[in-house]
Amino acid sequence: MKPAPQNRQPPTVKPGIFGGHFLQFRRDSIGFLTKLSKLGDVTTFRIGSQKAFFLNHPELVRDLLVVNAHKFVKGRALQRAKSLLGEGLLTSEGDAHLRQRRMIQPAFHREKIKSYTETMTGYAAQMANEWKDGEVRDVDREMMHLTLQIVGKTLFSANVEDDADEVGGAMTTLIEMFNYLLLPFSEILEKLPIPQARRFNRAKETLDAVIYGIINERRALGEDKGDLLSMLLNAQDEESGAAMSDKQVRDECLTLFVAGHETTANALTFTFYLLSQNPEKESKLHEELDRVLPNGKLPSIEDLPNLKYTESVLAESMRLFPPAWALGRLAVEDHEFNGYEIPKGALILLSTYILQRDERFWTDAEKFQPERFLRENAIKEAGQKFVYFPFGGGVRRCVGEQFAWAEGILLLATLARKWKLTLSPEQKIRLSPLMTLRPKFGMKMQIEART
């Protein structure tokens, strides 16, 4: 990277007449950021009156997320997400975030994850048994349903199967409405009796009813089940000794409810899509599953070290289609990136989607090649270099990362050992880069029994 001449502004593209680059960004976020990435490692743009900068180099990502993380807080997207998630782990800052993270971390320790894996494969096996040869299913919806059941059972010991479709529909509405939250003056729009606000509030009420129902039932039982919900209900403030209010417990539960199923479901949906487009890679996956899981054996956590190609398939899928496709921060102090002055109050964006497809750091970057992750520690090394960071980095790195890896590998193995999925001919593939990266039109695929 070459440092910029002093006092020079980063390159940009021509803004619109109104709102700076707002309409360009809103119409095609990935296309807009890709265009900026061609201009340099640090570029600038404007969303209304908000000055923004886009970083597209791993050294700059490390600087933002690790070295100088104390100079930045979460961006507007997650600040506005407080209207849904409240003050949960994803939206909190500073000491509050560290305190909440320490409290939640034990739910994701290795031994805890090990205890969850039987539930993961159990629900996946149930889905695999319900599928029928030759039928067409929306795999996007199927994966959302599956991971929602798993997060409900593992973290909250709750059976959400009866509510799964309703909850899934509410989640989809909220994700689709996320761009609405980013509109200028959305804080005011949210309170007006307009259709978008009504849809948002109905979806939020649906989720609140389910989450508060789980909390109330557990409080009434007074039983410590050793799960995340019990940890939250038994937690006490270090200074006052006070327990968490139902609202605080709700915020943490809903945050992990959303994050714990949405991202893994998206990763698996795109994984099945990529396998359907790359039959040679799909065959290699099936060969490994037949070897490691003979005679229809269900995978367990003990099998994970032997499912290296399965892991590599998932890793490569998250390189090409990272669920958390972009990260944003707001500067609380002035800073300098690569010689460019970044003022306090500026928005900083970076994109896993764009950087993980950068030809400077990846050979045949646009191709689906799971083999690139087969080498021992390849995933870890790519993460340390910040050319691969689907779970973020620094103190705000995803607390459930190991849970997600175990779940993704085990679900993929459980389903793919029995079924081969082929993309429906009429299925259009377009991306919907909202809070997470979703397929815009779902993912209809034909289910074929493996012979």
Here the CATH number for the domain that contains residue 445 is: 1.10.630.10
The pLDDT of residue 349 is: 95
The two three-digit tokens of residue 135, written as one number: 């039928």
Residue 17 lies in a domain: no
Torsion of CA 419, 423, 426, 430, to 10 degrees: 130
Of residues 193 and 339, the one with the higher pLDDT is 339
Vertex 434, ends 58 and 229: CA angle to 5°? 90
Residue 298 lies in a domain: yes
Residue 10 lies in a domain: no
Rounded CA gap, 207 and 201, in Å? Answer: 10
pTM: 0.91
pLDDT by residue (tens digit) across 329-353? 999 999 999 999 999 999 999 999 9
Torsion of CA 420, 424, 428, 433, to 10 degrees: -30
Instruction: Quickly state the pLDDT bin for 190 (edges 50, 70, 90).
Output: low
Number of domains comprising the chain: 1
The pLDDT of residue 4 is: 54
The pLDDT of residue 26 is above 90: no
pLDDT by residue (tens digit) across 394-405? 888 888 899 999
Amino acid sitting at position 232: L
Half-sphere exposure of 49 (CA within 13 A, CB side): 3
What is the SS3 assignment for 368?
Answer: coil
CB 390 within 8 A of CB 384: no
Residue 34 lies in a domain: yes
Instruction: Quickly state the pLDDT bin for 81 (edges 50, 70, 90).
Output: low
- The DSSP-derived string for 113-182 is HHHHHHHHHHHHHHHHHH--TT-EEEHHHHHHHHHHHHHHHHHH----TTTHHHHHHHHHHHHHTHHHHT
Residue 140, domain extent: 22-449
The pLDDT of residue 358 is above 70: yes
Within 10 angstroms of residue 441's Cβ, the number of other Cβ atoms is: 14
The two three-digit tokens of residue 432, written as one number: 């919907």
Provide φ and ψ at 328, rounded to 5°.
Answer: -125, 145
